[in-house]
Structure 1
Amino acid sequence: MTTKKLNIPDEIMSKKDPEQYFQIVEKLGEGSYGSVWKAINKATGIPVAIKRVSIDNDLEDMKKEINFMKQCKSQHIVTYHGSFKKDNEIWIVMEYCGAGSVCDAMKITGKTLSEEQIAVVSKDCLQGLAYLHSVRKIHRDIKAGNILLNNNGESKLADFGVSGQLDGSIVKAQTVIGTPFWMAPEVIQEVGYDYKADIWSFGITCIEMAESKPPLFNVHPMRVIFMIPNPSRPPPKLTEPEKWSDEFNDFIALCLTRKPEQRPTAVDLLKHPFITRAKSHSLLIPLIDEQDQIIGEKGREAALGLDTKEDDEEEEEEEDDEESGGSDQGTMRPARRNNHNDDDEEEQYDSGTMVITENNNYDTMVVNNDDDNNDISATMKMNSSKKPFVPAYMSQFAKQENNSNSGTNSKYSGLSLEDLQKKLEEIELDKDQKIKEIMEKYNIAKQSLSSVIDEKKSSLVR
């Protein structure tokens, strides 16, 4: 299907009214980027998907995404048709994949994918990645939410808002970008990375399709970015590997090879037995049919939990909590026990870890953006030259930070330089005293525990 067949302007961000060409049918989804809608081309009757993004987002980044999509020519990549500028939004018109994302299918049906279904999806995705990597493009945000299904059960890679291009002058990308749970270690470490980062993300996605969540899903994203690069942590794996075939376990292990130079390429993985034995796309049809039935009964927004009634009730509950002196952390709750018990470190933090619940909004994060600058910074930073993108989960801290910072500057602004220096010394002394008190409590507790351990060991010897 080409742009001309759809009979719409073949230009970047046409100023013509898109509603001349399209009849909006329903909302397909929404996120921090904006919203996606199903629409019908009035001239041809062909359904399309329209991504509507506020111009408050970086316009240059949207142009990059559009140009990136225009350059992609693969049946395993969602096809770009055109774009419009309407009021305060950019409308990006794309191929319509009627079954939505793999993530949405799991959420609506309450089911994970079978191993055979994962193999079928994986084969399509790897072919899409092999194409992207062959033209020196990196997706950088592979996850089930960015894998779309059409009604035939075919999978296509989508959402290129954070994708990057490697050219002759840039051998490796430096931007820390993606969704924390799926990020490769080398991306977070800022040591430079290439298309192998997509392979790691795809390995995490395979676990997500098998278990509905990525590893470490109940750990806060800002803690996850410190845990993933830790070389002492073994690579993630399926929670119950014995329930899956040796081929699938081996396939995931290869994708999640910690050293990128030892990690296989998409072309290599297409030769793996787990992929070569993949069956027909028809294996996905029962999942798609079940999803369609639920949507038919409830409506798409209710099936996805996007209906406003539930949102209003949640907001009222949060306001009640705040008025009664409750938490101001929004939808953050104490973590439940994580099924991915990779080591004692996670268990140690289980009781205190705060997690995002209810909406499962795993958002893409950009920490530093050096794609257009060969003078790469060695430290993690927000891009100061543009309005920074703030992931939705970071808003959970906004109120707490505002409360803690409000009035701080005004509190000290009237003091002289000498008084300020004295105040700083007092704070340092207070800090040292608090540390001393904590260490004393720690030593007492440690001594008590050691005594009990010694007693138990002695009793065992007797």
Structure 2
Amino acid sequence: MPVPHRDLGPILQKHGFGEIKKIGEGSFGKALLVQAEDGTKLVCKAVDVSAASSKETQDALKESRLLAALKHPYIVRYRHNLHEHGWLCIFMDYCEGGDLSKVIESAKRRGQRLPEEQVLRWITQALLALKYIHERHVLHRDLKSGNFFICRSGNLKMGDFGIAKVLSNTLACARTQIGTPYYLSPEVCQEKPYAWPSDIWAMGCILYELCALKVPFDAPNISTLVQRICRGPTPSLPTAYSDFLRQLCTEMLHRTAC
């Protein structure tokens, strides 16, 4: 039997981690800010794998070890993991500046667009991180503004790879799919396999969101949203941004390239 969510504390303490606060919770489990014995702050993602088969759990552990081997200045560093009592706990660096979706929300509330210089800096860092993982034959599979994080230096870092999606046949995984698929590419909406261009499309959605402060495709329900992603007009960036940036976004959201 898995240890209930509230009993994660003893597992963490056993391995030398103290819980500081909960920073997220969902059907997958919890995201906790923890502190190691040397004072280092880390984020612990605790994924419920109690319903997974032994092979599925081993696949998830293998993928988390692969992520720990990724070392790039614009990727959140995965430090280590542990598997105990039906939980897969993945530890990664903590980014003090929060995630990019919060930055976008704040700019929207203020009614102030993000400066092009800042957008270019962040999208360049994001694309360099994407190039690095693609060169290592790794798909992110869950790119969205909420999965990029701001570190103390102001740099952007890619994080929250779709680890739990390895558990493709488990209830734990199925529950993580709930939500509006704003960043899904046309081919994924058409039930084709997720591939390299799907990550590029999602990055185009993020670039649009950085500039327009809203997602490029929206609808009152998922079926209409899928139709708009697959066949609707592709929106252009606001004219306040350069032709270069506007053309870049258009090319990233080019359907026939997917």
| TM norm structure 1 | 0.45
Q: Deviations over 1:81-110 (max 9, x none)?
A: 111235453321111111121112334564
Q: Kindly tell me: are residues 50 and 113 of structure 1, through their superposed partners in 2, closer, same or farther at Cα, counting changes over 3 Å?
A: farther
Pairing 1:141–2:142 present: yes
Task: Quote how far apart the aligned CAs of 1:255 are.
Answer: 0.8
From 1, 7, 28, give the equivalent of 1:33: 28
Taking the TM superposition and a 5 Å limit, the aligned residue runs for 1:65-104 are 65-104=63-102
Q: After superposing the two structures, state which structure 1 stretch, 103-112 or 133-142, moved more.
A: 103-112
Q: Deviations over 1:304-333 (max 9, x none)?
A: xxxxxxxxxxxxxxxxxxxxxxxxxxxxxx
Task: Quote how far apart the aligned CAs of 1:57 are.
Answer: 6.1
CA distance in 2, matches of 1:98, 1:220: 34
CA distance in 1, matches of 2:70, 2:99: 19
Pairing 1:254–2:251 present: yes
- Aligned partner letter, 1:35: K
Q: Deviations over 1:227-283 (max 9, x none)?
A: 3122xx332333xx223221221111111111126xxxxxxxxxxxxxxxxxxxxxx
Residue 43 of structure 2 contacts residue 93 of structure 2 at CA under 8 Å; is this kept in 1? yes
Task: Quote how far apart the aligned CAs of 1:56 are.
Answer: 4.6
Q: Kindly tell me: are residues 146 and 245 of structure 1, through their superposed partners in 2, closer, same or farther at Cα, counting changes over 3 Å?
A: same
Pairing 1:117–2:118 present: yes
Taking the TM superposition and a 5 Å limit, the aligned residue runs for 1:271-286 are none
Taking the TM superposition and a 5 Å limit, the aligned residue runs for 1:306-317 are none
CA distance in 2, matches of 1:255, 1:180: 17
CA distance in 1, matches of 2:126, 2:163: 17
Task: Quote how far apart the aligned CAs of 1:68 are.
Answer: 3.6
- Aligned partner letter, 2:12: P
Task: Quote how far apart the aligned CAs of 1:65 are.
Answer: 4.2
What are the ranges of 5 or more consecutive residues in structure 1 without an aligned counterpart?
A: 1-15, 166-176, 262-462
Q: Deviations over 1:349-380 (max 9, x none)?
A: xxxxxxxxxxxxxxxxxxxxxxxxxxxxxxxx
Pairing 1:17–2:11 present: yes
RMSD, aligned α-carbons: 2.8
| TM norm structure 2 | 0.77
Q: Deviations over 1:154-186 (max 9, x none)?
A: 111111125999xxxxxxxxxxx8962111112
Residue 82 of structure 2 contacts residue 88 of structure 2 at CA under 8 Å; is this kept in 1? yes
Identify the structure with bigger relative contact order (alpha carbons < 8 Å, sequence gap 6+).
2
Identical positions, percent = 29
Counterpart residue number, 2:3: none
Counterpart residue number, 1:411: none
Q: Kindly tell me: are residues 211 and 26 of structure 1, through their superposed partners in 2, closer, same or farther at Cα, counting changes over 3 Å?
A: farther
CA distance in 2, matches of 1:162, 1:22: 22
Task: Quote how far apart the aligned CAs of 1:202 are.
Answer: 0.6
Aligned residues: 230
Task: Quote how far apart the aligned CAs of 1:191 are.
Answer: 4.3
- Aligned partner letter, 1:242: T
Residue 207 of structure 1 contacts residue 213 of structure 1 at CA under 8 Å; is this kept in 2? yes
- Aligned partner letter, 1:147: F
CA distance in 2, matches of 1:56, 1:235: 42
Q: Deviations over 1:403-434 (max 9, x none)?
A: xxxxxxxxxxxxxxxxxxxxxxxxxxxxxxxx
Q: Kindly tell me: are residues 188 and 79 of structure 1, through their superposed partners in 2, closer, same or farther at Cα, counting changes over 3 Å?
A: same
Pairing 1:46–2:52 present: no
Residue 12 of structure 2 contacts residue 19 of structure 2 at CA under 8 Å; is this kept in 1? no
Q: Kindly tell me: are residues 189 and 162 of structure 1, through their superposed partners in 2, closer, same or farther at Cα, counting changes over 3 Å?
A: farther
Residue 50 of structure 1 contacts residue 91 of structure 1 at CA under 8 Å; is this kept in 2? yes
